A and B are shown apart, each in its own frame.
Chain A
């Protein structure tokens, strides 16, 4: 028995080391489609790499925007900066509360914002957290907060990708990577906003869908809210506009509004402003620049900025 246990105790670290080595080899030499559980995409959609690089240079901002693509495509930092405010948009693709938690822990001390505008939506609470975490792991320098996120998600893809990302971080293999400000129809605006080339949405009917929140996301969200409150930062929750056809397909809007109102000042712009699905959006989720103008003007007015 002693021999058996000692063999196991020796084999575990041995296999872990070899596992890490093989992850690095696979990640470095095989294209993504041949390594299904290691998804490392540097400079992925939404200019996440540029945004997180820029985030490291920001200090003491007035407003920090958080959330998903609704955030980085919805809050145009130029509108707020023109009012003399220093703002940064830290939205990332499908950023769910789990990723927000890691970002807050990493950037809050340096950014030291006076106000956080936190984009919320029942959709984000229902997402499984794996894919969006992979983007974050690949495009930011990883630290203990990454590990905390990875362990809380507990998924083989996030473990593999985190191992490979840390290897690249350690050898500084991304130092020569440059992300173009212009990519397909997107233009990255310093401060984190991404402007889409003007397009208009073609109406599509969405079937009713119940968005069941995941407990892992809800718990992370409450944790984030508490963290922000503990630091005495002014917190504002905002549900950004989506097309009415999509919004009305969600069955839990009223309940969600009620829950958000209990936590902090909350604005649901799907109820507050009148936008036209075929004029103010470029897809069912995202405002085009015309829609962003209307939405941001309304937000600025309501916040009294």
Chain B
């Protein structure tokens, strides 16, 4: 079920009403969450519910067994079971064909022949997210940082909680699981803010991301037809597309959770207002970055090892992060580029310069901050080109199209064959950036804007956003980009 579908608009109020009707009975409420989550996921393809269920069963019993087991070797074996099952599912569904093809290519390179037959594998939606979420549980139990749960329904609800099941945020067990143990109370301000966040998430997705996508697809599909400046603009629009799409999803997920009295951690913190790439990575897809930090980077020694190992660790974490996104060399190069951008900051110990929001006590950034944000945005756009490209050849062709004398021409957006076509995306983007800038210190852009106004004015603002959605949304349903990961 897509958040931006009629099905979800019907589904959500029904679950919401039922959920609060049974608020006095925690077990029933959790069971309702579980049922709703399985319906939500099964709406897309019920067959893959078995994968989630199997993962849940395995990790539930691994957790309990870890608690009873003191023998280190056996504990390691239990943890390995969990990791093998989860990574095994992920590896088969997501990476089987990639490894097969590359193995065959390498074999051919060395003069051999191999009959490698691709399998037609459907990637189960959300598998990269829920496998990481459930693995965090067994790893934390193994490290004795978390008590395993005996409540299967609560655990299964944690694994499959529908708002964040298919595209995150990836929530750690210690953040989410305890919320299923205690009675939730309805808090008006929390629910109202949840609705605001949902509204802003929908706006980001259907107005900003989907409208950018129209141009991005057109430009990326025929880079040879455009001059450098337009190709660069295509990259910029993709940067907003992916941000609107993914952070929009996160906003809807977090907002929906708040309607149910459950808090999910922030996943995006206005990343395009970052002054360097390190700050960008503290603000982009936070739940994944911190997952890799805590379960990969720090166990490898992080930055508290000698310089060679530091470099290795940085590359490992960025390459793995790139590969997590998809079985394509483009994602790996995207990760490698980000590692290259990040490395100088780490080596010169400049990677924690900007921990606060830019221009925290001012309305506008100064020139230096503006230039730094511009430069950071520019290099992320260059990396995004690899992320968006179909393959490496496509990415290189696109980049070579940018870096020539035509880069200094006036960019021309495609008119799709229409006469006198306007490009509302340009003024929509302007309004979007402005609101995000105003709300940059908050959890989401609409959190505090208008809260001091009288109700009529505040509601008018929300209604105006609804109107803009109705007037400028793309009319064909576009799935979220991160569903493919």
Contacts and interface: CB of A to CB of B under 8 A. Distances in A.
A256 to B, nearest CB: 27
Given A1-B186, A11-B459, A11-B462, A156 B422 contact: no
Interface string B185-197: 0101001100000
Interface string B446-484: 000000000000011011101100111101000000000
B186 A37 contact: no
Given A35-B471, A36-B472, A156-B473, A7 B463 contact: no
Given A4-B191, A4-B192, A14 B471 contact: no
Nearest to B460: A18
Interface string B158-199: 000000000000000000000000000010100110000000
Contacts of B464: 18, 22
Contacts of A160: 470-471
Contacts of B68: none
Nearest to B469: A156
Interface string B329-359: 0000000000000000000000000000000
Nearest to A19: B467
Contacts of A38: 471
A15 B20 contact: no
Nearest to A27: B471
A208 B40 CA distance: 39
Given A1-B20, A4-B191, A7-B192, A19 B470 contact: yes
A34 B460 contact: no
Nearest to B467: A22
Interface in A58-86: none
Contacts of B472: 36-37
A35 B471 CA distance: 6
Interface residues of B, number: 23
Interface residues of A, number: 26
A155 interface: yes
A244 B257 CA distance: 59
Nearest to B20: A1
B424 interface: yes
B368 interface: no
A15 B463 contact: yes
Interface in A30-50: 31, 33-38
Kindly list the 8 A-B residue pairs having the minimum CB-CB distance in the complex, ordered from nearest. Answer: A15-B463, A33-B422, A18-B463, A22-B467, A34-B422, A1-B186, A37-B471, A19-B467
Interface of B: 6, 20, 186, 188, 191-192, 418, 420-422, 424, 459-460, 462-464, 466-467, 470-473, 475
18 contacts: A7-B192, A14-B459, A18-B463, A18-B467, A19-B467, A19-B470, A22-B467, A31-B422, A33-B422, A36-B471, A37-B470, A37-B473, A130-B475, A154-B6, A156-B473, A156-B475, A159-B470, A160-B470
Given A23-B467, A26-B471, A37-B472, 10 more contacts: A1-B20, A11-B462, A14-B459, A15-B462, A18-B464, A19-B470, A23-B471, A31-B422, A33-B422, A34-B422
